[in-house]
Chains A and B, each alone.
Chain A
């Protein structure tokens, strides 16, 4: 299978909807020389308009839900959404709290889930690789 849909390496945008930062520092650690995801060209960009993949962390706090939707709409197609961490799956340890409005897939469609509290950097790299493969398959159709 050749990589045809995206002509360059994946650009990733990270959005924090209220997480404890554990997943966020593991995402940053993925960029640093130990795990070094930039040798594949995968880069963290500063605006959703340049991104191919959205990395969403955190249980969705009440204030962040409309912003999450807006960022999703600003990202151009084709795009993939990865929910990183247990909080995005079902609230993590914070389930039943009064200020949370549901896991990420109640607001935007999620393609890949990465469980863990926080997941190891290797798991995050595997998730981005799976997202790439999924994008390619979707483009072939």
Chain B
């Protein structure tokens, strides 16, 4: 497995995804006294080509390391970022690779990747319960962190009406926000 530079990685994604590739960003920073480079790549893809993008990542690195799936409430849409890292095990050459997908709030569905990356199970369950995204094909549908009696339809990470505004604990002597 050869180690590509960030620009080469972006080109390979463009070639693999074609028209579903929206945009990319490369971030580099010099670190400490010897000025080694910390590198991170962000790749924006359309939802239809999401599984293809993950397959392409598996080609770049066997068993890519998925750190977490982060989700942001962007008003009308929800942005998901799958934080991968590739080239671990090589001294000072590891890259952070983020696959960014935008989902409209009317249709919050995305396919699962637990067949390619079995370790994604917990983080997919958490995204489901905290943001309200439906992961199609997930093997285990239960809640992860929230207790069983937490009301359905309340999603803690949302900033709209579905957030946990009614469940906040009001301190004695203060009013409810």
Contacts and interface: CB of A to CB of B under 8 A. Distances in A.
A10 B127 CA distance: 46
Given A98-B167, A99-B167, A102-B169, 10 more contacts: A63-B147, A90-B171, A91-B169, A95-B171, A96-B168, A98-B168, A99-B146, A99-B147, A99-B150, A100-B169
Contact of B156 (A63, A98, A100): A98
Chain A interface size range: 10 to 19
B64 interface: no
A91 B169 CA distance: 10
Interface string A84-98: 000000110001111
Chain B interface size range: 10 to 19
A67 to B, nearest CB: 12
Nearest to A63: B147
Interface string A57-75: 0000011000000000000
Nearest to B163: A98
A23 B72 CA distance: 33
10 contacts: A62-B150, A63-B147, A95-B171, A96-B168, A97-B168, A98-B169, A99-B150, A99-B167, A100-B169, A102-B169
Contacts, number: 26
A29 interface: no
Nearest to A100: B169
Contacts of A37: none
B164 interface: yes
A95 B173 CA distance: 14
A101 B168 CA distance: 9
